[in-house]
Structure 1
Amino acid sequence: MSYIELNGINKYFEVAERINVLKDISLRIHHGEMIAIMGPSGSGKSTLLNILGLLDRPSLGTYFLDDKDMSLLKEKERAFTRNKNIGFVFQNFNLINELSALENVKINLQFYNLYSKKKVTHKEALQRSKDALISVGLEDHMYKRPLQLSGGQQQRVAIARAIVNNPSFILADEPTGALDSNTTEEIMQVLKRLNQHGNTIIIVTHNTDVANQCNRIIELKDGEIVADGA
């Protein structure tokens, strides 16, 4: 079985009438892939990302992650699985301005301790957070706050925060959308290096240059997969 397997995923909302956002999505993703998900606004990209990230549940269909049926998990189990296995990177960084880069990364381990029986000690959390920042080239900026950093540096902090738990895969939602072309290339080099070290990377993007650096492109339109470069 694939590492990530979606079978017949549908997502709909009942308003005045039923609105189908995702329609019969079936998808296999293997360990170590680097995938781009593309499509026009309203195609269902963000909804699919939310389901993959266990932030939302499908209306119909099954989602297996590492052979485990995610629909069987209770909310606390989903939160633990999400925090342990999935790293999130967002377009707008989602950093806390009052905290240093190091503290922004370390907070992810504090969330981990909320759900895990095996706690990460303060000393270990500090070292892992430093190591994560070093791995994205920010060893000289650990104690700076986000507003003292460039956009590219802030996104590197966000990536360090995403990887500090050693997640199985990373979900990146328009990770370069707020960056210029040179900084975009720097961030892509960081993500590709993580992929080379074994991380599965899934990127939602409008940027064809970003997508073309991935080894597989999935295109959505009107909630359906219309192309899959598997």
Structure 2
Amino acid sequence: MTDTTTTSVGSGRHGGAEGTPILRARGITKSFPIGDRRLDVLHGVDIDVGRSESVALIGTSGAGKSTLLHVLGLLDSPTTGTVELDGVDAWALSKEKRASLRNLKIGFVFQFYHLLPELDAVENVLLPSMIRYGRGAYRRRKRELDTRARDLLIGFGLEERLDHRPEQLSGGERQRVALARALFHDPPLLIADEPTGNLDQATGSQVLELLFSEQKSRGLSLLMVTHDARLADRCDRTVYMRDGVVLDPSEVKDPLPVVP
């Protein structure tokens, strides 16, 4: 187990050894108390994500994908098991160090965007910076950070939407803002949970093209949950889940259908 008193969470994109995965999980279980009973959702899951690798996590509803994603993304603790992020045993860290590690190393894209309604597009992109740097340091760097956020959004085709709040944006525009927020600090790992699940096919395809383009150009690792085999085919590797376990490829008899 990692010594939590001496472990550094690092500061760069490549803090761990080049040969090690950016993400490695072993023996992950997750249970939830239901009255006087226990609901077991994950059953000893092992999973790796290599550096600059894209991995699709695929399975039917109730397979445990989103629960696993929350554990791997350090948003929820496993009942048992270990998660190493860039070589650091994340769940052996204090809550504060774990939050710092997550903010440095992971960008998140969710199905329903998770944008703050009272903030405009630029402010939503900058929100992680406010948390990361603290109020004083953020104020000192605000002009620089603001320029970077605007440039990123303009690059994503949102030049005319910089001062718009989420309610004034289309679904595709909201997801572009969410992707810009996830990428703003250039994390080595991007975690996406059904990133096009709330979009129509045409808009979803545009967002996916942008996501994969950024993943390739930046050399990011990508872990993406999806129900759609078509999206999984865009990734380097597919991991199948059923009933809280990861299946061996030989056990997959009925791959998921392509979603129309």
Q: TM-score w.r.t. structure 2 length?
A: 0.82
Q: CA deviation at 1:143?
A: 1.5
Q: 1:69 aligns with which of 86, 89, 92?
A: 89
8 Å contact from structure 1 (residues 80, 116) kept in 2: no
What SS does structure 1 have at the residue aligned with 2:196?
coil
| Aligned residue number for residue 2 of structure 1 | 21
Q: Which runs of 4+ in 1 moved over 3 A?
A: 114-120
CA distance in structure 2 between the aligned counterparts of 1:69 and 1:99, rounded to whole angstroms: 35
Q: TM-score w.r.t. structure 1 length?
A: 0.92
- Residue 96 of structure 1 pairs with residue 125 of structure 2: no
Identity rate, percent: 39
CA distance in structure 2 between the aligned counterparts of 1:123 and 1:227, rounded to whole angstroms: 50
What SS does structure 2 have at the residue aligned with 1:159?
helix
- Residue 32 of structure 1 pairs with residue 52 of structure 2: yes
What SS does structure 1 have at the residue aligned with 2:29?
strand
| Aligned residue number for residue 220 of structure 1 | 241
Q: What is the root-mean-square deviation in Å for CA atoms of aligned residues?
A: 2.1
Judged with a 3 Å threshold, the aligned counterparts in structure 2 of structure 1 residues 116 and 4 are, in CA distance, closer, same or farther, namely farther
Q: CA deviation at 1:147?
A: 1.9
Judged with a 3 Å threshold, the aligned counterparts in structure 2 of structure 1 residues 136 and 228 are, in CA distance, closer, same or farther, namely farther
Residues matched between the structures, number: 229
Q: 1:142 aligns with which of 147, 162, 168?
A: 162
8 Å contact from structure 2 (residues 91, 98) kept in 1: no
What SS does structure 2 have at the residue aligned with 1:121?
helix
Give 1 or 2 for the bigger CA radius of gyration.
2
| 1:1-230 to 2 correspondences below 5 Å | 1-15=20-34, 16-114=36-134, 121-197=141-217, 198-227=219-248
CA distance in structure 2 between the aligned counterparts of 1:115 and 1:213, rounded to whole angstroms: 40
8 Å contact from structure 2 (residues 42, 245) kept in 1: yes
Relative to structure 2, which stretch is displaced further, 117-126 or 168-177? Answer: 117-126
CA distance in structure 1 between the aligned counterparts of 2:53 and 2:211, rounded to whole angstroms: 12
8 Å contact from structure 1 (residues 8, 26) kept in 2: yes
